[in-house]
Structure 1
Amino acid sequence: MKKEAAITCVFVDIGGVLLTNGWDHHARKRAAENFKLEWAEMEDRHRLNFATYEEGKLTLEEYLSRTVFYEERPFTRDQFRGFMFAQSRAFPEMIKLICRLKAKFGLKIVVLSNEARELNAHRIHKFKLNAFVDCFISSCFVHLRKPDADIFKLAMDIAQAPAEHIIYIENTPRFAQIAEDLGIRSILHTDYPSTCVQLASFGLQYDEGVSHEIR
C-alpha cells in the first residue's frame, strides 16, 4: 500500500471554521430586523450583488448603496457598517488548534475564503489572524470565489505546496469535494472535537497540555 505524503500545509476556511460567518443569511436577517428593513427586498438585492462584492469588484460602500441605501434611511451608513462588523465572533478553540499545530509541526497556514474586502480586513485585524496565517487567498484579493477550482490551484501555486502535502479544513461539503477532486485531502468541519480526531488521523495531533495561543 502506498504511504500517504506527510502534511506540510493547512488550507483553512475562515467563516464557519475559525470565526462565525461574516455576513450570511442569519446576519442579514438580524440586520433587517434591527434596522426595520424589508427583508425580501434586501435579500433580493443582496443576491444580485454578493458575488461581485465578494470578488472584490464592488466596494462596501457600493454594495450598501445597492442593497440598503438606494433610498433615504433613518440610520447612517456608519451604524449599519458597525452592525455588520459586530456579527463576527471567534471560535477560540479552533484558532488555538491551528496555532498549536503550526508551532508543533512547522506547518504553513493558508486561509482560503470567500469574503469581501472590508469585512475580511476587519476580521483579520480584530481576531489577529495574520499572527499565525502565512497568506490569505481571499476572494476579494484574487477575484476568484469558491467553488471555482482555480482559487484552489492559485492557493497551491502561492503556497508552493503540492496537493498531496495539503490538508483542507472546510465546513461546506461542496467546497471540500472540489478540493478532494484536485487531490487535496479534506476535513469537513462540523465541530472542534471531530476535527481534532480527523487531524490526528493524518498525523497532526498535539499535546493538550502545551499551549501556543496568541498573546
Structure 2
Amino acid sequence: MKTLLLDIGGVVLTNAWDTAQRKIAADAFKLDWDQLALRHDLFYPAHEEGKIGLDAYLNSVIFHTERTFSREEFVDFMRSLSQPLEGMIPLFTEVKKTRNVRIVFLSNEGRDLANYRLSHYKLTELGDFFLISSFVGVRKPNPAIYQMAKELTQVPAEDMLYIDDRENLVNAATLLGIPSYRHESFVETKKRLDQFFA
C-alpha cells in the first residue's frame, strides 16, 4: 500500500486562517489590520500547536477590546472562509478507491477550525489518520512532525508522497527523505499522482 501525506489548506481546502483569510475578516469586521497582524503573530503559534484554544486566541487577538459583533458571529465567519478547492476532494477520493492508497493528513491548523473542517468536508472519511499540528503539539516545518509521519506509516520512503502547496514545507520533508511535490493546480497534481502510481 502506498501512502499519500496531504496538507489540507492549499491542497484540499482553502487555508483555514492564513493572511488572506485574516484580511477578509479585517475588512468585514472593520478591524485594525496592523494590530490584528501583530497580535496574531504573538498568539497564533501557541494556538496552532494546541497550547491555547480558539477562545483564548480570540480573547487576545480580537476580543481584547469591546466589539460591535459577537464571538459567535466571528467564529461563524472564520468557518465560512473554508471552502473546498475545485476537484481536489473527488480526485483524492478516487485515488484512494482505485489505488489502494492510505491517506494521512499532515497540516498546521488550530484544533477548533481543524475539527470543523475535517467534519464539515468529511475528510474523516477520506483520511486514515491525522497529524494536525494542534493534535500532536508540533508544527511544520519542524522535522519532528515529518518524522512522526514516517514512523506511523511504517512504509518505505519510496512508497510515500507528500503534497503541500508551500515550497519551504515541501523542502523540509524532502530533507528527511520523503518524496515531496508542490501542489499548484489540479491538472499538474493529477499528472504527478499518475506518475507516482505508474
TM over 0.5: yes
1:135-174 matched pairs, under 5 angstroms: 135-174=129-168
Say how many residue pairs are matched: 198
1:124 and 1:92 map into 2 onto residues whose CA distance is 17
Which entry has the higher C-alpha Rg, 1 or 2?
1
What residue in structure 2 maps to residue 73 of structure 1? 67
What residue in structure 1 maps to residue 20 of structure 2? 26
Instruction: Select which of 34, 39, 51 maps to 1:40.
Output: 34
1:82 and 1:71 map into 2 onto residues whose CA distance is 19
1:163 and 1:182 in contact (8 A); partners too: no
Give the aligned residue type for 2:135. F
What residue in structure 2 maps to residue 103 of structure 1? 97
- Same amino acid, percent of matched pairs: 39
- Asked whether 1:180 is paired with 2:174, we answer yes
Deviating beyond 4 angstroms after TM superposition, the runs of 4 or more aligned structure 1 residues are none
2:134 and 2:33 map into 1 onto residues whose CA distance is 26
Give the aligned residue type for 1:183. G
Give the aligned residue type for 1:163. A
Q: Calculate the TM-score normalised by the size of structure 1.
A: 0.89
Could you report, residue by residue, the CA deviation over 1:104-152 in whole angstroms, capped at 9, with x for unpaired residues? 1111100000000000000001100011100000000000000101101
Deviates more, 1:132-141 or 1:30-39: 30-39
Q: CA deviation at 1:35?
A: 0.9
1:19 and 1:168 map into 2 onto residues whose CA distance is 16
1:40 and 1:49 map into 2 onto residues whose CA distance is 15
Secondary structure of the residue aligned to 1:62 is: helix
2:75 and 2:35 map into 1 onto residues whose CA distance is 19
1:56 and 1:117 in contact (8 A); partners too: yes
2:197 and 2:118 map into 1 onto residues whose CA distance is 28
What residue in structure 2 maps to residue 212 of structure 1? none
Give the aligned residue type for 1:74. T
Higher helix share: 2
- Asked whether 1:54 is paired with 2:51, we answer no
1:176 and 1:17 map into 2 onto residues whose CA distance is 12
- Asked whether 1:133 is paired with 2:127, we answer yes
Q: Which runs of 5+ in 1 are unaligned?
A: 1-6, 205-215
Q: Calculate the TM-score normalised by the size of structure 2.
A: 0.97
1:119 and 1:173 map into 2 onto residues whose CA distance is 24
1:80 and 1:196 map into 2 onto residues whose CA distance is 36
Give the aligned residue type for 1:145. R
Cα RMSD of the aligned pairs, angstroms, is 1.1
2:81 and 2:50 map into 1 onto residues whose CA distance is 20
Q: CA deviation at 1:159?
A: 2.1
